[in-house]
């Protein structure tokens, strides 16, 4: 089981596009949820936050396997995944990207086994 909370800076000048991106995800929850089983994804929670250094995005995930999830997403021809990836490339400053792994994870992760 893979869990992380990732923090990423939104490129200056791309703040409105990032808000559009997150609204797009929100408007397509059913389609987004439908893509998750193939990725081995259980949870993806996306956040936008205004901070002193600008606009930041966060994503909290629980996957069966990180590499499988990323590879499946990267190779997907699903229109939602393609649009989501397009927004990511346009908005995320990958030079200011932090992946945080839990030091402690409480709870019953067995609910995520298939």
Question: Using one digit for the tens of pLDDT, what is the confidence trace for 66-100?
Answer: 999 989 999 999 999 999 999 999 999 999 999 99
Model confidence, pTM: 0.89
CA 107, distance to chain mean position in Å, is: 21
CA 21, distance to chain mean position in Å, is: 11
Over 70: is that where the pLDDT of 8 sits?
yes
Backbone angles phi, psi at 34, to 5 degrees: -70, -25
| Domain edges within the chain | 2-101
Mean pLDDT over each residue of the chain, to the nearest integer: 94
* Contact criterion met (CB below 8 Å) for 39 and 62: no
- CATH 3.40.50.980 correct for 2-101: no
**How far is the C-alpha of 44 from the C-alpha of 51, rounded, in Å?**
22
**Over residues 34-55, mean pLDDT:** 94
């Amino acid at each position: 089981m893979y869990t992380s909370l990732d923090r990423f800076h939104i490129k200056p000048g791309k703040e409105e596009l990032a808000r559009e991106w997150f609204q797009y995800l929100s408007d397509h929850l059913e389609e987004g949820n439908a893509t998750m089983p193939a990725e081995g994804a259980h949870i993806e929670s996306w956040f936008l936050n205004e901070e002193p250094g600008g606009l930041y995005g966060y994503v909290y995930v629980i996957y069966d396997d990180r590499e499988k999830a990323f590879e499946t997403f990267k190779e997907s021809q699903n229109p939602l995944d393609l649009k989501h990836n397009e927004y990511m490339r346009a908005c995320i400053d990958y030079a200011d990207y932090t992946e945080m792994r839990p030091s402690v994870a409480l709870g019953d992760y067995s609910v995520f086994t298939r």
